[in-house]
Each structure stands twice: as C-alpha cells, then as structure tokens.
Amino acid sequence: MKQAEFKNKLGPLLKRWALSFVLLPFVLLYAIHMYKALSYNIFMAVDNNYPAFFSFVFFILKSLTTLFHEGGHGIFGIFGSRFVTIAGGSFMQLLIPALCLGYGYLNDKRWIIQLSWFYLGYNFIDVAAYAADAGARALPLIGGLGKSAHDWHNLLVMTGGLQYDAFIGYLFFWTGCACFALALLLPAWRRDYRYADLDLNLS
C-alpha cells in the first residue's frame, strides 16, 4: 500500500519538476562558462564550444538574441536619440523575454513562465559580457563593425561610467543568475491546480 502511495506521489512530483531538470544543465553550463569569460578571458563569451546538443541550443538562443538586439536598435531609433538608439539593442533583448514572462503569469502558463525566466537570465548574462567589455572593446562586433560601434563603450562614455564597466557586467551577470534560480525553483512555490466543475442543483 505504501509503495502504491509513493508512486502516486512521485508521478506528479516528477511532472512538476521536469522542466527544471531539463533546464539545469543549460543553466550550469552557461553560467559557469560566462563567469569564466568575465573573470579570466572575455573571448570565451563568443566561444560556443559546448557539447554537441547544448552547442546547437545555445546557437539558436544566440541567434534569436542577436535578432532581437539588432531589431531593438532600429525600433528605438525612431525616437531620434542616439543614446536611446544604442541602448535599445540591449533593452530589446531583455524586453522580449520579460513580455513573454508577463504573458505566462497573466495566463497561468507555468512552463512559459519557467522558460521566460530562463531566457531572461540568458539575456542578462549575454548583456553582462558586452557591458564588461566596454573599456577593452575586445569582443568582435556583428558585421565586422569597428570599435567605435561598441554599444556599451558608447553608453558608458556618454554617462561617464566607463570605469565601472566590470562592475556593471557582474551586476548583469548576477541578475541573470537570479533569473536562472527563479526558473529552476518555480515549482517549489507554484502548484498546478485542477478545477472541478460543481453543478449544484439546489432547486
């Protein structure tokens, strides 16, 4: 009897935590890899040398991120401000997963919420490397653009904060890690509820 009860409890438990188990290796691989990039060698940020399947998934994520980032420059460019146009790239790549997160909460879609927290964390950490590179401008830019086109170098020069590039990079990094933690731990405090349709005929 106890074994049957255990199996009945184990099934829903595994189902609730399934996505967390799937996301965990991606979170660990990316967070450790990018921490090393920030701490030791910034070029690791553009090194996609992960195990085969993980490499493919991260390639897809990076491609989407690049699309959103570059689109952000164009969309926010309509405001006519050079600062807003430059900042629009990083802002857009954070805005998209944030909007998906809002959709998930409004519609009570737990998997969308988890995936959105994960993708938001991924983008915060992606921005972290770009921001931390503002002073050195060592990372290659898309389309072979020169160092003068480095978004975060320009943003921090405009705001007088270039000397804080590493601090800002780590701030983005740890914010991304917090998003990762929320993605993984969401099932701990969020439950799936089943609704019963009770037709009470009191007449």
The domain locations on the chain are 2-189
Between residues 1 and 148, the one the model is more confident about: 148
Q: What is the pLDDT of residue 15?
A: 85
The DSSP line for 95-122 is: HHHHHHHHHHHHTT-HHHHHHHHHHHHH
| pTM: predicted TM-score of the whole model, two decimal places | 0.88
**Percent with pLDDT over 70 in the chain:** 87
Between residues 196 and 57, the one the model is more confident about: 57
Measure the CA–CA gap between 112 and 99, rounded to whole angstroms. Answer: 11
